[in-house]
Chain A
Amino acid sequence: MTVQSPARVAFSPRRVGAMVLRHWYLLSSSWPRVLDLIYWPAVQMLMWGFLQQYVSQNSGFFMKAAGTFIGAVMLWDILFRGQLGFSISFLEEMYARNLGNLMMSPLRPAEFVAALMIQSVIRLSVGMVPVSLLAIAFFGFNLWALGLALAVFFLNLLLTSWAIGILVAGILLRYGLGAENMAWSFMFLFLPLTCVYYPVEVLPSWLQVVAWMLPPTYVFEGMRALIIEHVFRADLMMQAFAVNIVLFAGGVVGFLLFLKSARREGTLLQGGD
């Protein structure tokens, strides 16, 4: 008998490993995919870095706040690329018409999602580590010097990116590649609302309420407090974490509802538009 009895195994790390391996095979055999992971974060960082240099030469405030733009763009990229890493790994299954194989295999939804999370961290690391080194080389901005704060920022942003990634995966399961643009554009709604480049007070008061419902807002406020005032706002991070738990749970529920709907409508084998 060459087959184990995984029927009772509700969560199998080996199946998660199989999925991570599947995407690692793909990534490691395709240099355009690797280049794509580094290209845009590097372009963004350079553009905002030079803009910040220019502005800080002409403004006392920005001299004091050196690093806020470049810090913001790099944290934004963690949020955006984290979700994209999750969603693109999922899309790769649809492009390859492999989703039916996976849905028919013993792979469970929780294992699939866990593998996509790990994959998003791998893709994020491939993109962001070189870019963070470039930021040191070009602008003397050391993201790693944020230390523990960076770890907390990273965790909160990653949780948000996963929550959105899970929800988008559910939408793709249900509506097929016709909903592909959601994977690329969903997170951009967060760009103005989470106050990546400006403080929350800039928003009209009614929109501030919306902004504080989104975990990254706390992170970007926390980042500015750290860089400008040299204060680590643990309170903001705790609040971000609490909102993230709600958002993540919402993403999972949404995914399961879309999956159920996909089974009802028979779209799991189609995957097209």
Chain B
Amino acid sequence: MLAPATTPIAVDRLVKLYKAVTAVDGISFAIAAGSCTALLGANGAGKTTTISTIMGLVEPTAGIVTVLGAAMPRQRHRVLHRMNFESPYVNMPMRLTVRQNLNVFGMLYGCEDVAGRIRALADEFDMHSFLDRETGKLSSGQKTRVALAKSLINQPEILLLDEPTASLDPDTADWVRGRLERYRRERGATVLLASHNMSEVERLCDRVIMLKTGLIEDDDTPGRLIARYGRSNLEEVFLDIARGTGEARETAR
């Protein structure tokens, strides 16, 4: 599969082996500019490995991953300033205040007016009241907002999100989703999302890639997946695929 030069993310026959374990087994997909795609699958399906490879943190065993035309991880420094991510696998330094953390990341990502950008993000994510508090002393919801603010500090063209609303109460999670939708709309950003929250995926994403044991099990819009599996929501589709009971899909084939 040869992706067009403008394709933000292109994964071509990606294989990743960890010794004898196959984490990803020859998957291919391309993600269109400005779209929001969900990468779904049960634990161990290969989501984190795929996203880590796209971020340049993991070297493929075989296959090619390109981001904005740069081969990852070899050419990652050509594009890292144009992308960003948020993941529950990482934290920001807890002893630093929110402002200090954002200042450091603003400088790392090459923002010209870091103070101005922090002010804008504080407005956007309602962070003024805790901007000068230590990051480790914030509530889960506040920490998530700070992590999202960090992921938008450089106004990325590509945003990779791993469980962006995990451990948030429904109200805060809804608020976060609204902010993500708005950012994507206003910036025209491409978003790749891994989540176990199916209602979140239905709301945010226009495409779903279902992974199972390192392979792409299905790939379509949320609406078409739900219709094809004869289910009422994406969660039921997920369970069908994860448990191998997707009879509707077999019929559709």
Complex Cα–Cα for A97 and B92 (A): 7
**A-B residue pairs in contact (CB < 8 Å), sample of 11:** A12-B110, A14-B107, A18-B104, A22-B96, A26-B96, A96-B91, A96-B92, A100-B57, A102-B108, A263-B73, A268-B58
Whole-angstrom distance from the CB of A93 to the nearest CB of chain B?
8
Residues of the B chain whose Cβ atoms lie less than 8 Å from the Cβ of A103: 57
Q: A2-B112, A2-B113, A266-B52 are in contact. List 18 more A-B contacts (CB 8 A).
A: A2-B111, A2-B155, A3-B110, A4-B110, A21-B107, A29-B95, A96-B93, A98-B91, A102-B108, A105-B80, A106-B77, A106-B110, A107-B108, A260-B59, A263-B58, A263-B59, A266-B23, A268-B58
Residue on A with the closest CB to B48? A269
B110-133 contact mask (Cβ, 8 Å, vs A): 1 or 0 = 111100110000000000000000
Q: Is B5 an interface residue (CB 8 A)?
A: no
B107–A100 touching, CB < 8 Å: no
B85 interface hit (Cβ, 8 Å) = yes
**Cβ contact within 8 Å between A100 and B109:** no
Q: State whether the Cβ of A233 lies closer than 8 Å to any Cβ in chain B.
A: no
CA–CA, A19 and B105, complex, Å: 9
Question: Chain B: which residue is nearest A265 at the CB level?
Answer: B18
Asked if B57 and A269 make an inter-chain contact with CB atoms under 8 angstroms apart, the answer reads: yes
Could you mark each residue 45-58 of chain B with 1 if its beta carbon is under 8 Å from any beta carbon of chain A, else 0? 00011001001111
| Cβ contacts under 8 Å, A19 to chain B | 104, 108
Q: How many residues of B contact A (CB 8 A)?
A: 46
| Chain B hits for A6, CB < 8 A | 81, 110
For B99, give the chain A residue with the smallest CB separation: A25
Looking at B57, B58, B96, B108, which has the most chain A CB atoms within 10 Å of its CB? Answer: B108
- Residues A9-66 near B (CB distance < 8 A): 12, 14-15, 17-19, 21-22, 25-26, 29-30
List the 7 closest A-B pairs by CB distance, nearest first. A18-B107, A100-B90, A4-B110, A97-B91, A263-B59, A6-B110, A96-B93
**Given A2-B155, A25-B100; A97-B89 close (CB under 8 Å):** yes
With contacts A29-B95, A105-B105 known, is A100 near B87, CB below 8 A?
A: yes
CB pair B87 A106 closer than 8 Å = no
A269: chain B residues at CB < 8 Å are: 48, 52, 57, 87, 89-90
Q: Name the A residues within 8 Å of B95 (CB-CB).
A: 25-26, 29-30, 96
Q: In whole Å, how far is A260's beta carbon from the nearest beta carbon of chain B?
A: 7
